[in-house]
Structure 1
């Protein structure tokens, strides 16, 4: 909602946050606001404002009054503490702030008037987009500017207001006059009278408005009222101006008196057929078509699209909106049954009721008739008589007032032609069923289903099936309507399944539907019959592609030359979706696939070409994915991922092992970086099952299994990950595949680290590092060093950790692989946080976030959002921190990262705890703990337990706090996670102090304050608690292990 709404057309009204502002101290404050808001394009000197409102006052007194008025105004608007104030006030000037959150009716009115003035059109009064703007202007004009608002002691202000009032009223009267004329031409006499009457209300002496009213009343059969209006006009002119009506008005009066009323003007001319059903959606398209039809340069507009896409219905709706905009009518010319170009002229002539003279050439007569006409001709279905398109050029040349709106499955390919590609109705993408409110395809299905079966109701359980139906037909109106017609005898789920199986369900059983519109198949057959033999061959072969294709792929897989591909685009059978990419409507693709499958040999050969092409494509991207061209390679694979999946499934099913091996690594990197873990797992499972137990293909089996394991790890499914990775490692060792061994060792080390098995993780990482050095594997070296650094960091050796991480970063930067750079930078950010260098940490995390966003790596986006939130949290910026944590949580949920969810929930709990909402914080911690336990992530489990203990302690529940701290301390001690161990001891110190064990509390705080593994934030917290609780730590304390063991023994249940 706009914060400040100012209405000056009519009585002055001001609203703030939807509530009327009535607290203005004086009318001068209101006047000041009105003036500043209208004249907001420049700052105003205080002296000038004082002179405007207090012209008769001494300057000093006037300036004092201005200060008071300004103060009252700002108080009424709540403007003093606003980040973006409504008023910009300095010692010398005052200006209304155009950047503030406000709306002014005068500004909106003026902007619409200016838009009409600048708009390119044939004539303003017949321009539909401008008429729509004028309707908005009429709505805004509630009355004259500052109606009934006067400053009796300020002639200067009143003179300014008068000039504004007169200019705005002239604009309003002009607008109302145009609208009354337009609706008279459309035959909407009631609407026309409304606009004419408003003119008379504003200017009772306006004779033209009275004539409009008289004419509109007469045309509507209200002859007596029309004659009475003449008398009202005569009285108004006598009273206001002392004159008699003009001869034109008197003549109109006499015509009405002498007639039945319907001959006093011309009614709208149109022959558009009435539609048997409602029109749904397409509002954006209608607005675009209105703009094009208003453009004087666009006189031949062709709606192009495949059969069933709704070209004719859209053209009729657009034409109907233009009734009244063309002086000599709007006509629909159906050409479906016209069999030759020679019949086009007589068909149009019949539609516009033109009769030929037998002594002259019909075409010549026809063009002569059109020469002086202003018409919109809707020429429907031109694709089968394209040879007659030259006639359209003749019409455009000889009849400058005629505009042609054509529909065709194929472009006319005329120089004068403007092409408008018609797509399907809007429908939800993917599984986004929440977008139903903006889906016109769903609306169409619902309406036609109720028409077919009155008891139909779109139940919650049926929504996904209806969404699927609309997706399968890609919003094609004919497909949606034919599918909806089956709801009386089939469930929506059953209809969707049948569409996926074949096209035959999409047929109508209605008697009065044209033959080629009775089924989607019939519609497509009509287009198929218009193709050449070569076009048919390419069209059916293109059906093997999924999700679109490039011209090069079409050439190599389907033998499509650029000329043939362009011809199929022109015929609306293929869509050009970008400068380099094409696709097909899904129903057309299904139809083409049926044609291809009719020849098994051609079908198998085309599929094989497709599989080979995309396996080679993936192999080509493999090296790019590991270097500086990584981002582009990911984008390329992303565009072709549906084709790659389809090719993979075929290669696996037919046992093309060499093609599968070509594809494996690139697919893994794509699914890993894009965080599409489950999708990747399911894909690799196909190869695992295909070659399980096949000793000849152990290499492929091992690779697919290892990639499954790595993706399981990202989902936090450590047990499954370990099983896959250990088995594949055994295979690679047997086959002496060293690069693959490194991959398994590093992923196993990651699994061990997340399970808190740091010793095992270090051994695996060192083994991976040694092997990486031997085979000069940069990825292996960087990842091994990263892991060793992370382990050192977790176990408290921060200096050694930093050295290892910097070495890993150097290798990553040298390789140009952003996926190696990001994790090292992120870990170095953790080290900076540990040392209390939050500025450096923020810079590092922001660089990481930028890199991960650039790559589309949602897994790491979530990690870096979380870490940035931690920095902001420590700096006390709780609202910003919460926002980052929340986005991290939502991202983790989206990609299925359970460990990330647990950590984000823990951090959300921490920031909520900091704001004092302890119960809410507990809910976050408990949710995070549940996930942490489920996936076996020790860090998340420890963090949530420690936080639960701290919150329980704050709430005075010491027994529960003790239990949480004991469990967290046990895990931290077992895993030697020293930084977390010290955090737990600091929180325990608070609990011990409250229980009277102040000496032990002081010992724990003293240890945390000095220990090298203690994070800066932990040290500062320990220092603060010592001061707050008045504790003095001992000069020396036992080693951390001994202290932790003693505390754990003291608080653990016996």
Structure 2
């Protein structure tokens, strides 16, 4: 289409002087005055005003999806700068215009200029405003975006004019500054009095009060309203449409009906344009501006939940070349070009993935529209099947890699696609694909172990195993093992033992050495959770011996290192610190050989516990700090909590009981979030640490510090961890030692006995040192052990060393 050229201004003529006088006399279209105040856009208004006052910015385009509030923002900003434009601020409504040749004539009409006489209207417009300091607010430009070069020509001819444009599509002309308008932030207020902190919630309240003046936010409605605005993506138009429903529905009922968003988001004000009276029409307006290939890609991308990568879009959204597996879709699509177009139309948005690679997302209201269109075109079965196949392949490939290497970026990739993986599981579960369903559930082992929720993983695996009765024995064995690990991590030892036992039998029958090693390891975990550490050691030794027979040397090192780490933990639980240290160090050799960072971190933390309980606190903190790093990368809450517990013990020994309590509280919170117990090998030392902090702080202060730690953001927890510091010589107070001893009701003689146990003495040496009978010495030892809650002399000796019993005042009496 030919775009009319605008010549530069010439000298005034009788006609254009008359037109200019008409414009100066008030013939222009003023800014509309909205009937309701703009809410929660102060920062955006300030930013847009600043850009409008910047002489280098003469074409500013506010872009964003339909219903995000571009027009309201433009009007608010324009109202703020009226004094900056002495010749006026003019509103140009382009919503009824679809013919691109009418853009400039509509602009001229907004100034009161009429298309009369022989002279070109375009020339008369340029002449009339050539030296005028004017701001044009050009609203709804997306359907006439092909006319954008005309705006550039207008600016070239009129150096004092500034254009503020609203459009769902960027104009893509030189000199354009784009300002993306995002939905309202979805802050979650902790209580109704904090609701004002959430712009989205405030907007809902105000619009609900327009209909029901008695509407107020209570503790009961806060949760429902917060979730409603989240469900509609924080889009102002959608929030207003939802709030309009409060005329007939209370928030809790409205929330339940928003399972399907588009049918409920209708019934807007009658004075709004038709396209803004329902969200379906608002999104449909953008959809209709796409060409056929872009519409096809848009529909297909609606299958993704929570975003997608370019690779996923190219696999799922492009046309298949393999007609043997599925019907051929009719539209030829270049996916990258299509995604670019959809971004320009504000139907998808670009974001950075955790691995730095680009990800793309649709707002949920937009995605629902896309899914509806997909079903209307009869493509939903094909595209959903492609989606499931893609994510099954991704999960299996990633699972294979994670079995051999600790790769945080791979874990993060699975976490980023957690919602897509759930959707694929659900599709396979209901489409008669039981073996594929079980394969996918099994392959997500590392995602559920590291990130959880454990309960969700268990539910999917139980369901998949029940449906896949004809699956291969090896697949069932692998799935049973994963289910067992998730169960034992939640301390469900009965279910875990049954899974490991059945899986072990299948692996032995079918000669799967890796499966055999896995399940001996699993049975070792079960025994540890039952505090049967001798039996645990036997099972873990069997796992170690089998792992060393594997032909895959990388896998052999990973499996051996894991068995050795838990053998070290079992030895620690039995008070054998030298053996524990030896096992953890041997594990490190295997794990470092293949750079298995998860295993390395676990072994370092184990060595930290051993060093701490030997009294080498400086080395212990160094080991805890180094060991924690890989787990913070992948947010493995279970092992992070183990490291925090260990550092808490150091803080106690260094006279920092409040810091210790905060660390213990943070660890407790992490475990509770996923239903995890304290690691059984370290339970006794954990309980003693809690008792020591209780003795130092008292009941009320301990509870307050635990709660404070549980509520701390991750960054502050890490700060508490890293600032556990060595106290100056002689500055550690003796009070914690005294209080700790008194807490257990130890007699002076029992204090002496424990101190001598800590020096490595047996009953005979203790009796000789204290000039008592060997039998009496033995009785004192037993009584002391009962009071401090240990079941072995070695553990009692560790207690004495850790808690500096030899420094107790009674020892000098």
Same fold, TM-score > 0.5, yes or no: yes
* Contact 1:913-1:921 within 8 A present in 2 as well: no
Q: Which of 510, 533, 539 matches 2:298?
A: 539
Task: Give 5+ residue unaligned stretches, structure 1.
Answer: 1-265, 926-947, 966-977, 983-992, 1032-1054
How many Å separate the matches in 2 of 1:712 and 1:545?
30
Other-structure match for 2:137 = 378
How many Å separate the matches in 2 of 1:922 and 1:577?
41
Other-structure match for 1:1019 = 801
* Contact 2:738-2:808 within 8 A present in 1 as well: no
Q: Does 1:748 align with 2:523?
A: yes
Q: Which of 604, 607, 616 matches 2:381?
A: 604
Correspondences of 1:471-550 after superposition (within 5 Å): 471-508=230-267, 510-550=269-309
Q: Which of 654, 665, 670 matches 1:886?
A: 665
How many Å separate the matches in 1 of 2:192 and 2:591?
42
Q: Does 1:313 align with 2:72?
A: yes
Shift of 1:443: 0.9
How many Å separate the matches in 2 of 1:327 and 1:717?
75
Q: Does 1:643 align with 2:429?
A: no
How many Å separate the matches in 2 of 1:923 and 1:406?
54
Shift of 1:858: 1.9
Other-structure match for 2:712 = none
Task: Give the 3-state SS of the residue equivalent to 2:135 in structure 1.
Answer: strand
RMSD: 3.8
Shift of 1:899: 2.4
Q: Does 1:617 align with 2:376?
A: no
* Contact 2:350-2:359 within 8 A present in 1 as well: yes
Correspondences of 1:254-265 after superposition (within 5 Å): none
Q: Which of 309, 324, 346 matches 1:572?
A: 346
Task: Give the 3-state SS of the residue equivalent to 2:174 in structure 1.
Answer: coil
Shift of 1:461: 2.4
Q: Does 1:914 align with 2:689?
A: no
Q: Does 1:690 align with 2:477?
A: no
Other-structure match for 2:457 = 680
> Structure 1 residues 918, 358: CA separation in 2 closer, same or farther (over 3 Å shift)?
closer
Q: Does 1:667 align with 2:432?
A: no
Task: Give the 3-state SS of the residue equivalent to 2:264 in structure 1.
Answer: coil
Other-structure match for 1:323 = 82
Correspondences of 1:556-595 after superposition (within 5 Å): 556-559=315-318, 560-561=333-334, 562-578=336-352, 580-595=358-373
Other-structure match for 1:772 = 547
How many Å separate the matches in 2 of 1:659 and 1:1002?
60
> Structure 1 residues 700, 464: CA separation in 2 closer, same or farther (over 3 Å shift)?
farther
* Contact 1:703-1:728 within 8 A present in 2 as well: yes
* Contact 1:773-1:781 within 8 A present in 2 as well: yes
* Contact 1:863-1:900 within 8 A present in 2 as well: yes
Deviations 1:882-902, CA, capped at 9 Å, x for gaps: 333233233333333332698
> Structure 1 residues 1015, 870: CA separation in 2 closer, same or farther (over 3 Å shift)?
farther
Other-structure match for 2:197 = 438
Other-structure match for 1:708 = 483
How many Å separate the matches in 2 of 1:950 and 1:655?
67
Other-structure match for 1:858 = 637
> Structure 1 residues 338, 1019: CA separation in 2 closer, same or farther (over 3 Å shift)?
closer
Q: Larger deviation: 543-552 or 876-885?
A: 876-885
Q: Which of 787, 790, 810 matches 1:1028?
A: 810
> Structure 1 residues 906, 432: CA separation in 2 closer, same or farther (over 3 Å shift)?
farther
* Contact 1:809-1:824 within 8 A present in 2 as well: yes
Q: Which of 167, 180, 198 matches 1:421?
A: 180
| Bigger RCO (CA 8 Å, 6+ sep) | 2
Other-structure match for 1:107 = none
* Contact 2:574-2:794 within 8 A present in 1 as well: no
Task: Give the 3-state SS of the residue equivalent to 1:577 in structure 2.
Answer: strand
Shift of 1:586: 0.8
How many Å separate the matches in 1 of 2:781 and 2:536?
35
Task: Give the 3-state SS of the residue equivalent to 2:163 in structure 1.
Answer: strand
* Contact 1:450-1:456 within 8 A present in 2 as well: yes
Shift of 1:1023: 5.2
Shift of 1:999: 10
How many Å separate the matches in 2 of 1:412 and 1:529?
18
Task: Give the 3-state SS of the residue equivalent to 1:876 in structure 2.
Answer: coil
Q: Does 1:453 align with 2:228?
A: no
> Structure 1 residues 1003, 425: CA separation in 2 closer, same or farther (over 3 Å shift)?
closer
Shift of 1:775: 2.2
Task: Give the 3-state SS of the residue equivalent to 1:774 in structure 2.
Answer: coil
How many Å separate the matches in 1 of 2:92 and 2:611?
75
Task: Give the 3-state SS of the residue equivalent to 2:46 in structure 1.
Answer: helix
Other-structure match for 1:757 = 532
**How many residues are treated as equivalent by the alignment?**
714
Task: Give the 3-state SS of the residue equivalent to 2:259 in structure 1.
Answer: helix
Correspondences of 1:84-483 after superposition (within 5 Å): 271-354=30-113, 358-428=117-187, 436-483=195-242
> Structure 1 residues 906, 464: CA separation in 2 closer, same or farther (over 3 Å shift)?
farther
Task: Give the 3-state SS of the residue equivalent to 1:573 in structure 2.
Answer: coil
Task: Give the 3-state SS of the residue equivalent to 2:650 in structure 1.
Answer: helix
Correspondences of 1:34-73 after superposition (within 5 Å): none
How many Å separate the matches in 1 of 2:705 and 2:529?
21
How many Å separate the matches in 2 of 1:677 and 1:434?
34
* Contact 2:59-2:164 within 8 A present in 1 as well: yes
* Contact 1:547-1:583 within 8 A present in 2 as well: yes
Q: Rg: which structure is higher?
A: 1
* Contact 1:627-1:818 within 8 A present in 2 as well: no
* Contact 2:628-2:640 within 8 A present in 1 as well: yes
* Contact 1:427-1:439 within 8 A present in 2 as well: yes
* Contact 2:189-2:198 within 8 A present in 1 as well: no
Task: Give 5+ residue unaligned stretches, structure 2.
Answer: 1-24, 319-332, 707-735, 751-756, 762-771
* Contact 2:524-2:540 within 8 A present in 1 as well: yes
Q: Which of 788, 808, 811 matches 2:567?
A: 788
Q: TM-score, normalised by structure 1?
A: 0.62
